[in-house]
Amino acid sequence: MDAARLPGTSGPEQIVAHVDMDCFYAACEQRREPALRGEPLVVGMGYENGTTHGAVATASYEARAYGVESAMAISEALERLPRKVDAVEDPDLDVEDAGFYRPVDMDFYESVAADVREILHAEAAVVREVSIDEAYLDVTDRVSWETVDSWAQDLKDTIESAVGVVASVGVAPTMSAAKVASDRDKPDGLVVVEPGDVREFFADLPVEDVHGVGPVTASELDSLDIETAGDLAAADPELLADRFGERGREIRRYARGEDERSVTPKGDPKSLSRESAFTEATTDSEAKCRQVRTLAEAVADRARRKGARYQTIGIKVVTPPFDVNTRARSLPGPVEEPDLVKRVALDLLGEFDDDPVRKVGVRVSNLDFSAGEQANLDGFSGDARTEETSDSSVADNSSERAKEQNEEGQVGLGTFGGNDEGNEAAGDAANEGEDTVSTNISLPPGQTTLTDF
């Protein structure tokens, strides 16, 4: 079945729109400085003007042409795309092959996102905000399939004219298809997949485009000669269940266009996290520490902006081939202490000093959104109640389920761990792909992620 109509229901099929802002951080900087439009632009996390530390949060399409990718170290990005100001002063550099760098300014990006959200809520009665730059809208009661194309174009035009940033929009009868559709024709894309066309729409897409399929699962599917979504849709469900458990059946359903989820607003997240993948496994302790420090700062900052205190601080370390190790330490009570997040995360990372590492992540959980007093940490030794888990069977499951990633090329929000429900997670990035607000640093074509585990 094509799942154009939900089982057991009658009446019109649901109409779901997925709105995904194009290169959102870079677009915000270009809105603030119009002279940056059309220029190679890199937005750095943990980066300060004139320095070489930090990581790429997002790169404009022009910067990507020089090989700059999200999650890449700023030092490496500068080798591929020197700063324009440096090129002006260095005769060995070509000003035409240089770009602009700006530090992440989340408060500003949040203010721009708020303007976009106001428009989205005016256009739909039900809105699910997945992350700072993407959301699902249920517009079943607002438009018909005959008029949804013009409605979506009007929505895109309104966002661009009123806010000054560009959105790509995908419309389909299911959330998973709408997500894929919004990414299909980026940037500035608009793709409508009507009822009855979902399975055909998926058929020739790479299998990793299917909701819930990440690079690890895609590699395993390839070993089964399953390369496209069409192959996955036609695969033996028992074979997939034997290999992947219930998740195997689930991704097959998504490939067939069968997705019974409805758009529902999100509540408070249960955890906040970010993860980052290295280009290849590394034993460089300083590189691992540098990445964890950057992620810890990002997680603590997001908790501050959401008004969340945390009682547990944890890390995720993926070692070859794809073994996932998590470590966590619980505090006496909920706190907001950015330096402590960094210190505990680095302390936990010490166990893996000599190990080759493919990916690292930082998470805070047991969140408290009340306005009560912060816990007293007097006497906290920093080494009590450390929890450990290691699992090669679910390697990279979190980042794969966090496939509700942000727009390509931008650090997104995703999920850390097995149960994503209630997590803030990328791209995304997302469990259902959406319950985590993602941040992966390794995304699909041209994208990496900082996933909220």
Which pLDDT does position 389 carry in this prediction? Answer: 65
pLDDT in tens, the chain (453 residues): 444 433 333 334 799 999 999 999 999 999 999 999 999 999 998 888 878 888 899 999 999 999 999 888 899 999 999 999 889 888 889 999 999 999 999 999 999 999 999 999 999 989 999 989 999 999 998 899 999 999 999 999 999 999 999 999 999 999 999 999 999 999 999 999 999 899 999 999 999 999 888 888 898 999 999 999 999 999 999 999 999 999 999 999 999 989 888 998 887 778 888 888 887 889 999 999 999 999 999 999 989 888 899 999 999 998 987 788 999 999 988 999 999 999 999 999 999 999 999 989 999 999 998 865 555 555 455 444 566 666 543 333 333 333 333 434 454 433 343 333 333 333 333 333 333 333 332 323 332 333 333
CA 273 to chain centre: 11
Which pLDDT does position 265 carry in this prediction? Answer: 87
Measuring CA to CA, how many Å separate 279 from each of 52, 69, 223, 283, 442?
18, 11, 23, 12, 9
Sheet holding 271-282, edge to edge: 386-391, 323-335, 310-319, 357-365, 271-282, 423-424
Which pLDDT does position 376 carry in this prediction? Answer: 57
Give me the catalytic one of 62, 134, 404, 434: 134
Which pLDDT does position 413 carry in this prediction? Answer: 34
59 membership: H or E segment, kind and range: strand 55-59
Buried b (16+ CB within 10 A) or exposed e, 366-405: bbbeeeeeebeeeebeeeeeeeeeeeeebbbbbbbbbbbb
Which pLDDT does position 372 carry in this prediction? Answer: 58
Q: What are phi and psi of 442, to 5 degrees?
A: -175, 90
Which pLDDT does position 279 carry in this prediction? Answer: 79
DSSP 334-368: EE--HHHHHHHHHHHHGGGTTS-EEEEEEEEES-B
pTM summary value:
0.67
Q: Which residues contact 333 (CB under 8 A, 6 or more apart)?
A: 311, 374, 375, 376
Which pLDDT does position 375 carry in this prediction? Answer: 58
Tokens 């019974």 identify what position? 260
Q: List the structure tokens of 196.
A: 């009855």
Q: What is the CA radius of gyration of the chain?
A: 21
Question: Alpha-carbon distance 82 to 98, whole Å?
Answer: 5
Active site residue 134: yes
Q: List the structure tokens of 400.
A: 């794969």
Question: Alpha-carbon distance 440 to 274, whole Å?
Answer: 7
Which pLDDT does position 123 carry in this prediction? Answer: 92
Whether a cis peptide bond, with omega within 30° of 0, leads into 321 is yes
> Do 398 and 359 contact (CB within 8 A), yes or no?
no
